[in-house]
Amino acid sequence: MKIDHLGIAVPSIEEALAFYRDALGLTVSGYETVEEQGVNVAMLPVGESRVELLEPIAEGTPVSRFLQKRGPGLHHVCYSVPDIEVALERLRSRGARLIDERPRVGAGGHLIAFVHPSASGGVLVELVQESNHPEPSEGEFV
Ligand code: ZN
């Protein structure tokens, strides 16, 4: 397993880039608007992982509610797993509370699932099944 990406909720991607891009020195590999999830996303590769900046596009969206409740910060950690069905079954059999009982298809065609933060020390967990093709994935945003 590896950490595929860290999702960080911010009120403004442009403002966050003053730190992550300009001060820290990361590079933005792509921007995307995921209407279904109500977010704009900027991806910044870090080695084999990425930072995923999440900016809400409207009130009432999950990331907007997260910002209102908890302020900017770490929104989720995404682990890449070889077989998402096996990973979910293992979690289920050990009593972890799942948000997605079944994998769903995220943007980019990747299979993803979310695990409730109550199961994982307060941080939302995203699982993504490793893709068979090596190109950097663009998808599975929250
Ligand atoms: Zn994500």
pLDDT tens string 37-82: 899 999 999 999 999 999 999 999 999 999 999 999 999 999 999 9
**What is the C-alpha separation between 59 and 70, in angstroms, rounded?**
15
CA of 93 to the centre of ligand 1 (A): 24
The mean pLDDT of the chain is 91
pTM to 2 decimal places: 0.87
Enclosing H/E stretch for 89: helix 84-93
108 C-alpha to ligand 1 centroid (Å): 12
CA distance 43 to 101: 27
pLDDT in tens, 106-129: 766 789 999 999 989 999 999 999
Closest of 3, 2, 9 to residue 62, by C-alpha: 9
Q: E strands, the chain, where?
A: 2-9, 30-34, 39-46, 49-56, 73-81, 104-105, 111-115, 124-129
Q: Reply yes or no on whether the pLDDT at 24 is more than 80.
A: yes
pLDDT recorded at residue 110: 84
How far is the centre of ligand 1, averaged over its atoms, from the C-alpha of 12 (Å)?
17
Ligand 1 centroid vs 95 CA: distance in angstroms?
23
